Amino acid sequence: MNRHLLSAADLTRDDALLVLDTAAELAAVSDRSVKKLPTLRGRTVVNLFYEDSTRTRISFEVAAKRLSADVITFSAKGSSVSKGESLKDTALTLQAIGADAVVCRHHASGAPHTLSRWVEGSVVNAGDGTHEHPTQALLDAYTMRARTGRLEGLRVAIVGDVLHSRVARSNVLLLATLGAEVTLVSPPTLLPLGVDAWPAETSYDLDAVLPKTDVVMMLRVQRERMGAAYFPSEREYARRYGLDAARMAALPDEAIVMHPGPMNRGMEIAAEVADSVRSTIVDQVANGVSVRMAVLYLLLAGGQTADQGRGGAA
Ligand code: CP
C-alpha cells in the first residue's frame, strides 16, 4: 500500500482485498473481553477533524486504541484553528509532536492531500469536502462482502445526492476496482458534471433500477452544502427518490439496504426501512472499526505479518 490513503483510487485490487481480509481477521478482537492488541504500541495517531463527525471520528479513535496507539483527537473547534491558525502551521505542530499518522476530515476538498506534503507520517483521508471518503468505501465493501458473500458482479445502486457525496465517489472508484457493477440513481440536478467519465451507469428512475439490484445504498441529502434549490420540495424528493417499504418490496429477496449515516429519516430513507432486517446500517458502523484498524495497521506496521503484529510488538 501507499504511505497515505487519500483516495479510493490509491488502492489496487490487491490492496483493497488485503484491507478487507485484514479487517476480517481483526474483527475477532472486537468479540474478546479485552479488546486490545499491542501492534501499534508507542505510535501516535492524531485525529484532526475540521468538520463534524460522529461515526468516523469515534471509530478511528476506537480502532487506534484497540491497536494500543497513543491517540490525540483534535477538533478545529476549541483549538488554535479558531484563532486563525493555518492548516500548514497545524501540520507542522503535529509533525513536531511526532505524529505517526494523521487522520484528517476537512470541509475543503483536497485538504488531506495538501497535508500529506507537510507531515512525515501517514495521512488518512476521513472525508474531504465533496471529494472522497475512502475508509467509508472500504467499510461499505466489507459489509457488502460479509452480507452477500461476493463483490465481483454485485449490482449496486447508489441513490440520491451524488453531487455532494464523497461517499458516492469513493464507493464508485473502489467498487469498480473490486468488479462490482454500480448504477448511480439521482435527479439530474444532483449528478455532478463529468459523471459520464465515472466507472458507473446512471439513471433517473429508481423504480426501474430496484428490481435489478443486490445492494441499494441510500445517500444523505446534504442540505448544508446546498446553496440553491436542487429539487421542488422534500416531499417531492422523498416521493421520487426515497426508499420506503413499498419500494423496498421491489428489491430481490436477498438484497440489502445501506446508508453511510447520518440519515434524514423520512426523506431519503423511511424509518421502517432503516430499522428493517435488510438494513446493514448498524453493521456498517461496527465494521468501520475493524476496517479502520486494518488501515492503520497496514499503514503503520505493514512491513510485519499479521501474526508478528498481533504478538511481536508487545
Ligand atoms: N458516514 C460518516 O462519515 O459519518 P460521520 O459524518 O458521522 O463520520
Average pLDDT over residues 181-205: 97
pLDDT on residue 229 = 79
| Domain assignment of residue 245, yes or no | yes
Q: How far is the CA of 128 from the centre of ligand 1 (A)?
A: 11
Look up the CATH number of the domain holding residue 196.
Answer: 3.40.50.1370
- Do residue 104 and residue 117 come from a single domain? yes
In degrees, rounded to 5, the angle at the alpha carbon of residue 144 between the alpha carbons of residues 6 and 58 is 50
Q: How far is the CA of 178 from the centre of ligand 1 (A)?
A: 23
- Do residue 126 and residue 144 come from a single domain? no
Q: How far is the CA of 77 from the centre of ligand 1 (A)?
A: 17
Range of the domain at 208: 134-281
- Do residue 76 and residue 174 come from a single domain? no
pLDDT on residue 310 = 41
- Do residue 155 and residue 125 come from a single domain? no
Residue among 101, 105, 90 nearest 49 (CA): 105
For the segment 252-304, what is each residue's pLDDT rounded down to a tens digit?
A: 999 999 999 999 999 999 999 999 999 999 999 999 999 999 999 999 997 55
**Set of cell numbers at residue 277:** 432486517
- Quote the CA–CA distance of 135 and 138 in Å, as a whole number: 5
- Do residue 273 and residue 289 come from a single domain? no
CA nearest ligand 1 atom 4, residue: 55
Check if the beta carbon of residue 219 is closer than 8 Å to that of residue 137.
no
Choosing from 51, 54, 59, 269 the residue with most ligand 1 atoms within 8 A of its CB, the one to mutate for a pocket test is 54
Q: For residues 243, 234, 52 and 219, what is the CA-based torsion angle, rounded to 10 degrees? A: 30
Choosing from 48, 49, 52, 56 the residue with most ligand 1 atoms within 8 A of its CB, the one to mutate for a pocket test is 56
- Do residue 78 and residue 106 come from a single domain? yes
- Do residue 129 and residue 181 come from a single domain? no
| Domain assignment of residue 86, yes or no | yes
Pocket of ligand 1 (CB under 6 A): 53-56, 127, 133, 136, 260-262
User: Mean pLDDT score of the chain, rounded to an integer?
Assistant: 93
CA nearest ligand 1 atom 6, residue: 53
| Domain assignment of residue 225, yes or no | yes
- Do residue 44 and residue 141 come from a single domain? no
pLDDT on residue 77 = 82
Instruction: Write the burial class of residue 111 (CB in 10 Å: 0-12 exposed, 13-18 middle, 19+ buried).
Output: buried
| Domain assignment of residue 1, yes or no | no
- Quote the CA–CA distance of 64 and 46 in Å, as a whole number: 9
pLDDT on residue 304 = 53
- Quote the CA–CA distance of 244 and 252 in Å, as a whole number: 15
Average pLDDT over residues 153-180: 98
* pLDDT higher than threshold 80 for residue 312: no
Average pLDDT over residues 182-195: 96
Average pLDDT over residues 221-235: 82
The length of the chain is 314
Residues 6+ apart with CB under 8 A from 25: 306
Paired strand residues for 73: 47
Choice among 27-31, 121-125, 140-144, 262-266 with the minimum mean pLDDT: 27-31
Share above pLDDT 90 across residues of the chain, in percent, rounded to a whole number: 85
Average pLDDT over residues 80-108: 93
Number of domains in the chain: 2
pLDDT on residue 81 = 85
Q: Which residue has the higher pLDDT, 293 or 31?
A: 293
Q: What is the DSSP code (8-state) at residue 47?
A: E
| Domain assignment of residue 217, yes or no | yes
* pLDDT higher than threshold 60 for residue 313: no
Q: CA neighbours within 13 Å on the CB side: how many for 243?
A: 35
- Do residue 96 and residue 173 come from a single domain? no
* pLDDT higher than threshold 50 for residue 157: yes
Torsions phi, psi for 106 (to 5 deg): -150, 145
pLDDT on residue 305 = 44
pLDDT on residue 303 = 54
Closest ligand 1 atom to 126 CA: 3
Instruction: Write the burial class of residue 214 (CB in 10 Å: 0-12 exposed, 13-18 middle, 19+ buried).
Output: buried
* pLDDT higher than threshold 60 for residue 246: yes
* pLDDT higher than threshold 50 for residue 61: yes
| Domain assignment of residue 207, yes or no | yes
